Chain A
Amino acid sequence: MAKIVAVTGNEAVANALRQVNPDVCAAYPITPQTDMMQRFSGFVSDGKVKTEIILVESEHSSMSACVGASAAGGRVITATSSQGLALMNEILYIASGTRLPIVMPVVNRALSAPLNIHGDHSDAMGARDSGWIQLWSENAQEAYDNTIQAFRIAEHMDIRLPVMICLDGFIISHSIERIEYLEDEQVQNFVGEFKQLYPLLDLAHPVSYGPLILPDYYMEFRKAQAEVNTKVPEVVLDVAADFEKISGRKYGLFETYRLEDAEIGIVILNSAAGTTKDVIDEFRNKGIKAGLLKPRLYRPFPYVETGEALKHLKALCVLDRADSFGSSFSPVYMDIASSLYPYNDKPILINKIYGLGGRDYLPEHAEIVLNELIDIAETGNVKSYKEYIGVRE
């Protein structure tokens, strides 16, 4: 039976990792993730897991060790944030290119400079082209649930790709929430046994990992990797359906909130979606048809399904907790714009950047955006396509 607890996001994810009971974990401290791996290390010290832990000297070595351990033939985890994810960047591509199903919670935090330890999506956005699957989580419950589902997705025989589970630094990682834990046995049965396809440790069948592939075959290799990505959404949905059976909680590629009959809408990731939903309820009470879409599977991005869900709106704002310097708009905006491009009738699309470096996202911010969308929907006039909000002028 489900157990109801009051825990932080870090604690919930650490508990999910304990329940999965991986073979190897590489860990390195970085705020705000530290507490998660600390808790997991405690499980190791107390014999609550069979896991062998590698306390590496950097995140670069953390991901490097994960690649070695996963290729060796077992279930492998690590976790990181911010600079740590940036330091791993080189090896992220090697993990996905080698098709290693490593699972890594990423507690989202701003990137330096200037140094800042607070919630921000710039870290994971910097890894969005790395070939990793990204699952984003609004709250501790979703982070817990996504972590458990991540193993099934990563290890699916049609996929075999690494997965990062994104949750907001401090806002989720350090806030106590009510969440429901599954039983250890339920989680064990759900994730099942993992068998590496070509384990390095299989002496009877020696394999070479990490070859040099020159122009004669590199492109075919990359195309195959791109094709694997097209299979991910279906697997994510299948795993979600199985997860619903044991948890009663429903997951999709994204969550829609009062979106079906909406005229104006907001697309927003992670914890700020919760605040936005409350404000949408207030606007609905005033008779305004507002709705929300919160991406869950952000990489690979299910652009067809997303475009289909948003195309009927009159005006839409993508709120992003990260910018993409030098490009036209922020990361999620560009994906949403691409998903809507094929349609002749589509919403007017605007872009707001909010909450960088842990700046609070307040209900007033959602109100301002929704009021602006009402105006755009009525008049068709846009005063600014891209704007920072909640910032000093």
Chain B
Amino acid sequence: MAKPVTLKELSKKEILFASGHRLCAGCGAPIIVKMVLLASDYPLIVANATGCLEVSSCISDYTAWKIPWIHNAFENAAATLSGVETMYRSLKKQGKIDKDIKFIAFGGDGGTYDIGLQSLSGAMERGHDMLYICYDNGAYMNTGIQRSSATPLGADTTTRPAGSVVPGKTEQRKNLTKIMAAHNIPYTAQASPSHWADLVRKVRKALDIPGPKFINIISPCNRGWRSRTDDAIMLSRLAVETCYWPLYEIENGVTKITFKPREKKPIIDFLKPQGRFKHLFKPDAEDFLKRIQDDIDKEWERLQKEEACFSS
């Protein structure tokens, strides 16, 4: 098992995702990618679903990736990486490769929750030794903030805009972390860039476990969330502290909440700084806000009970 690392140790490691990429200022994705790559003690090969991270990090003749990287299409990062990992096993078995290599896929919520879910589910079920990381910014940000199944209840998006009769998204988000845990893979977790030590620890743990792993990481997008460019860490922290984005892991079927806020903040603290929820702060939207709070409370209760089942 990998030892915990200190910030000092991390700061001495080479950054494998180079600056000069074309992601927006204040985007959560490159922060997450840098943390994930720093966390690993193994050589890595990365697959990337089409999306913001992909189009902004490898525009010919430039690449931000100092490690081997492959982009295939939108919905198939998991299947693509399963091919890479299988070739690795084949060549290793034949004695043509001797190094221990680890494989990570990055996909946004569109490429993971929606169009890529089948490919992801298949790869996880087949047991490939790979870690799939979803950077979840809650909409199709690359194409211009369209609704995805990860878009939170009430959010204003360009395909489900808040109008005079529609209050933004009227459905709950899909709980993908739960779906992935239901695959009975050895490790599933949720993380946030605001809690870097927790994120780094989870990645290191995941990479040490053989087989398929999934980590869902919240990734603020100031364009889509309509927040300030320097709010990514603050907003991801509020997501955790309001229990909108609980930090937990499910290791071999055992659920553990890895961070419990001392005082659970009201969801409006997370919603208010974001323009995509602005319409919910009009006087007639109180019921809708209550519904959002109720949903979060219910899921947080459920998660705590789930954890309690294993600790008793």
Q: Which residues of A contact B (CB under 8 A)?
A: 23-24, 26, 50-52, 54-58, 60-62, 64-74, 76, 90-91, 94, 200-203, 206-214, 217
* Shortest Cβ-Cβ A-B pairs, 8 listed: A68-B83, A57-B122, A210-B71, A65-B83, A72-B87, A64-B76, A69-B83, A61-B79
Partner of A69 from B58, B67, B87 at Cβ < 8 Å: B87
CA distance A67 to B69 in the complex (A): 13
Contact between chains at B58 and A61 (CB < 8 Å):
no
**Does B262 touch A at the CB level, under 8 Å?**
no
Partner of A61 from B47, B67, B94, B119 at Cβ < 8 Å: B119
Contact between chains at B87 and A74 (CB < 8 Å):
yes
Contact between chains at A52 and B58 (CB < 8 Å):
no
Contact between chains at A68 and B82 (CB < 8 Å):
yes
Contacts of A50 in B (CB 8 A): 90, 93-94
Contact between chains at A68 and B80 (CB < 8 Å):
yes
Contact between chains at A201 and B59 (CB < 8 Å):
no
Contact between chains at A61 and B68 (CB < 8 Å):
no
A131 to chain B minimum Cβ distance, whole angstroms, is 15
Contact between chains at B122 and A61 (CB < 8 Å):
yes
Contacts of B76 in A (CB 8 A): 60-61, 64, 91
CA distance A23 to B83 in the complex (A): 11
**Does B45 touch A at the CB level, under 8 Å?**
yes
Contact between chains at B45 and A200 (CB < 8 Å):
yes
CA distance A56 to B67 in the complex (A): 27
Other A-B contacts than A58-B122, A208-B68, 19 sampled, CB-CB below 8 A, are A52-B89, A54-B86, A66-B83, A68-B47, A68-B70, A68-B79, A68-B83, A68-B85, A71-B83, A71-B84, A74-B90, A90-B73, A203-B67, A206-B69, A208-B58, A208-B70, A209-B71, A211-B61, A212-B55
Contact between chains at A71 and B70 (CB < 8 Å):
yes
Chain A proximity mask over B45-82: 1 for CB below 8 Å, otherwise 0: 10110000011001111010111111111011001111
A87 to chain B minimum Cβ distance, whole angstroms, is 11
Contact between chains at A203 and B68 (CB < 8 Å):
yes
Closest to B99 in A: A203
Closest to B128 in A: A54
**Does B91 touch A at the CB level, under 8 Å?**
yes
A42 to chain B minimum Cβ distance, whole angstroms, is 18
Contact between chains at B72 and A91 (CB < 8 Å):
yes
CB within 8 Å for A201 and B118 given contacts A55-B126, A91-B73: no
Contact between chains at B43 and A68 (CB < 8 Å):
no
Closest to B70 in A: A209
Contacts of A211 in B (CB 8 A): 58-61, 63, 71
Q: Name the residue among A68, A71, A210 with the largest chain B CB count within 10 angstroms.
A: A68
Contacts of B86 in A (CB 8 A): 24, 52, 54, 65, 68-69
Contact between chains at B125 and A57 (CB < 8 Å):
yes
A sample of 16 cross-chain residue pairs with beta-carbon separation below 8 angstroms, ordered by A number, consists of A23-B87, A24-B90, A26-B83, A50-B90, A56-B126, A57-B118, A60-B79, A62-B79, A64-B72, A65-B83, A74-B90, A201-B87, A202-B68, A206-B68, A208-B65, A211-B63
Contact between chains at A68 and B87 (CB < 8 Å):
yes
CA distance A206 to B63 in the complex (A): 11
CB within 8 Å for A24 and B87 given contacts A56-B79, A203-B101, A212-B54: yes
Partner of B68 from A54, A55, A62, A201 at Cβ < 8 Å: A201
Contact between chains at A64 and B80 (CB < 8 Å):
yes
CB within 8 Å for A201 and B97 given contacts A65-B79, A67-B83, A208-B63: yes
**Does B135 touch A at the CB level, under 8 Å?**
no
Contacts of B184 in A (CB 8 A): none
Partner of B60 from A24, A52, A76, A212 at Cβ < 8 Å: A212
Q: Name the residue among B87, B94, B99, B123 with the largest chain A CB count within 10 angstroms.
A: B87
**Does B158 touch A at the CB level, under 8 Å?**
no
CB within 8 Å for A64 and B79 given contacts A71-B70, A74-B87: yes
CA distance A214 to B97 in the complex (A): 35
Contact between chains at B84 and A51 (CB < 8 Å):
no
CA distance A65 to B81 in the complex (A): 7
CA distance A60 to B73 in the complex (A): 11
Contacts of B81 in A (CB 8 A): 68
Contacts of B84 in A (CB 8 A): 68-69, 71-72, 200-201
Contact between chains at B121 and A57 (CB < 8 Å):
yes
Contacts of B65 in A (CB 8 A): 206, 208
CA distance A378 to B85 in the complex (A): 64
**Does B248 touch A at the CB level, under 8 Å?**
no
**Does B88 touch A at the CB level, under 8 Å?**
yes
B83 to chain A minimum Cβ distance, whole angstroms, is 3
Contacts of B69 in A (CB 8 A): 206-209
B101 to chain A minimum Cβ distance, whole angstroms, is 7
Contacts of B54 in A (CB 8 A): 210, 212
Contact between chains at A210 and B68 (CB < 8 Å):
no
Q: Name the residue among B76, B80, B126 with the largest chain A CB count within 10 angstroms.
A: B80
Contact between chains at A67 and B80 (CB < 8 Å):
yes
A55 to chain B minimum Cβ distance, whole angstroms, is 7
CA distance A58 to B83 in the complex (A): 14
CA distance A68 to B70 in the complex (A): 8
Contact between chains at B60 and A54 (CB < 8 Å):
no
CA distance A65 to B69 in the complex (A): 15
CA distance A52 to B83 in the complex (A): 10
CA distance A65 to B119 in the complex (A): 10
A86 to chain B minimum Cβ distance, whole angstroms, is 16
CA distance A1 to B144 in the complex (A): 64
Contacts of A23 in B (CB 8 A): 87, 90-91, 94
Contacts of A64 in B (CB 8 A): 72-73, 76, 79-80, 83, 119
CB within 8 Å for A212 and B59 given contacts A200-B45, A201-B84, A203-B101: yes
Closest to A205 in B: B68
Contact between chains at B126 and A54 (CB < 8 Å):
yes
Partner of B90 from A51, A207, A209 at Cβ < 8 Å: A51
